[in-house]
Amino acid sequence: MPSAARASSRYGHGITLTTLHGPFSADFRLVYLDGEESAPISCTKAQAEVFRALWEFAGQDHRAEDVMRRTGRSSPKPIDLFKSNKERLRAYKTLVKTNQKEGLYRMPCAAR
């Protein structure tokens, strides 16, 4: 998980970050995956809302309906918002864990 200073200098894309939430920029629109030297993955507003909701659940399991209600989106599952872009989908699959049998979603890096 990069620090704000490390993210700014490491990625060198004119990114000035003062706050990070784990692997996310302050607005959850940029994702920094551990161990990668490439540029951060840029997310849409809807995708950032999914990441923010899961972050606010602090690593606890929640149903898809709870996540999507928090985002204000009508999609039945959070992953549906990520399927159109392989890099964003990779970020989602790296950070979000699902229990498909129970229909639960969580983000372990958000645990406090």
> What phi and psi values does residue 58 have, to the nearest 5 degrees?
55, 40
Can you give the pLDDT at residue 65? 95
Which residue type does 39 have?
A: A
Residue 67 tokens read as 């996540």
Percent of the chain with pLDDT over 90: 70
Tally Cβ neighbours within 10 Å of residue 102. Answer: 9
pLDDT of 48 over the 70 cut: yes
Entry pTM: 0.82
What mean pLDDT, rounded, does the chain reach?
A: 85
The label of the residue with tokens 């706050």 reads 19
What CATH number does the domain containing 77 carry? 1.10.10
Q: How far is CA 10 from the centre of its chain?
A: 20
Residue 76 sits in which domain range?
Answer: 4-110
Task: Provide the domain count of the chain.
Answer: 1
- For the segment 5-39, what is each residue's pLDDT rounded down to a tens digit? 334 434 444 444 444 788 999 999 999 988 777 78
Per the model's pLDDT, the better-predicted residue between 72 and 38 turns out to be 72
